[in-house]
Amino acid sequence: MKDLTHYINGERVPGTSGRFSDVFNPATGEVQSRCPLASKEEFDHAVEIAAAAQPAWGATNPQRRARVMMKFVDLLNRDMDKLAEALSSEHGKTFPDAKGDVQRGLEVVEYCIGAPQMLKGEFTDSAGPGIDMYSMRQPLGVTGGITPFNFPAMIPMWMFAPALACGNAFILKPSERDPSVPIMLAELMEEAGLPKGLLQVVNGDKEAVDAMLDNDIVQSIGFVGSTPIAEYIYGRGCSNGKRVQCFGGAKNHMIVMPDADMDQAADALIGAGYGAAGERCMAISVAVPVGDETADRLVEKLVPRIEKLKVGPYTAGDDVDYGPVVTAAAKQNILGLIESGIQQGAELVVDGRDFSLQGYEDGFFVGPHLFDRVTPDMDIYRKEIFGPVLSTVRAGSYDEAIGLAMDHEYGNGTAIFTRDGDTARDFAQRINIGMVGINVPIPVPLAYHTFGGWKKSAFGDLNQHGPDAFRFYTRTKTITSRWPSGIKEGGEFNFKPME
């Protein structure tokens, strides 16, 4: 069994704390490596190196920084399969899904190539008599990010690419469950021309997180994960004077109107509900058909599609729809919530509890499940399951359906399937949720828009990627300038003092 490393000052560095976390192969259940868990001293050392490297990088003009991003995009495309292979082996997601993980991160890097445009300030000529006023966007210094297991390539790139493009250094604390790809990305950044010490990868658990939150040099922190941890990081980080953005849990509803194309809606729910084994904050976990007739038609369409889903290891290739969940503990949590749904009276239409894969009996596989007649008081409705479980909540009317989504504590994403433009427009206007799909099941914005939920799904004033990223990773400085006026006499300028 191999021990993994940190990535500090351009080198893979063994951990010195003596503490490790097991990294599993989710398909087999076997431990394949150990991830070092950094001490506060190890983390602070990485911050010191980043702080020393950052001033020269911050003084580098944005166009040169953008060229590093351009080269990084080329390297990501070159090593796409290599990155996806490493990602799948630790996370368990299918190979196409792993490539999609890298691709969506790459798209944010492409957006960051526009840093020279995004970092331009504003200028007002003659704001007053002889007075000009202008602003500039300057880097924060050393920034940090804490990223989750479910997107070990995409979300780190969503954070470090704009941070670096803005002239900052960045300390990444990735998930200890699948830590290899973030280090590979850091190495590619330096191959692209990023100076050493600007992108550090420090593996760890709560000790490393607290070290980031309490270190006075770290100016900003981004986080993606569960809502309780998001609240903790946001509160502690803000109390320490840092700029913080935290994105938490989700319970995403998809409303299906009676006039919807039922085949289209069912196909959308299969991908949005079961893709990546449901381990996505933008997964649709609640279908809300309006009217019993609509619900019956939708369930009738869903059942044969769900029963045809193929579950297996990423090594099976394109024939697999989704793979295992990330750990045995995640599997047990999902199965526990399924049992609670049965006990609380939901109708289990498709039962995947007995799923077993020959040759992979010890893997963390969970079969697909479909519940019908779920009610808002049930645990499977209130809690984020993060697994291949779809709940159907029947609504008597459009207003009741939209009320379910609006009343839930989470507000990450939502969707509606309908042929009626007036209904769709009303839904988009009224819904109190950050990302909305109209006949689109997973409304993740493209890189040049921003990603972020509402309510208990997000904490902070600015979203991820898009224009908000350049606002989050810079400070605005405004300058008011006045120069003494001069009158040319005898070929010389005689300057009059300002009044």
Give the tokens for residue 122. Answer: 């504003």
Give the tokens for residue 295. Answer: 């619900």
Instruction: Phi first, then psi: give them for residue 241, nearest 5 degrees.
Output: 80, 20
Separation of alpha carbons 256 and 85, rounded Å: 37
The single residue of 35, 166, 246, 281 carrying the catalytic annotation is 281
Separation of alpha carbons 184 and 156, rounded Å: 12
Give the tokens for residue 185. Answer: 């990305």
Q: Which residues pair with 464 in a beta bridge?
A: 451
For the chain, counts of helices (H) and of strands (E): 16, 25
Give the tokens for residue 220. Answer: 């900003």
Separation of alpha carbons 373 and 348, rounded Å: 9
Separation of alpha carbons 109 and 158, rounded Å: 8
Look up residue 449 and give its DSSP letter: S
Instruction: Phi first, then psi: give them for residue 51, nearest 5 degrees.
Output: -65, -35
Do 212 and 146 meet the contact criterion of CB atoms below 8 Å apart? yes
* Runs of H (alpha helix) within 60-94: 62-78, 80-91
Do 417 and 268 meet the contact criterion of CB atoms below 8 Å apart? yes
Nearest-5° Cα angle at 483, 480 to 487: 155
Cα atoms in the Cβ-side hemisphere of radius 13 Å centred on 486: 9
**Residue 35 falls in the annotated catalytic set:** no
Cα atoms in the Cβ-side hemisphere of radius 13 Å centred on 485: 6
Give the tokens for residue 15. Answer: 């951990």
Cα atoms in the Cβ-side hemisphere of radius 13 Å centred on 414: 27
Q: What positions carry a catalytic annotation?
A: 281
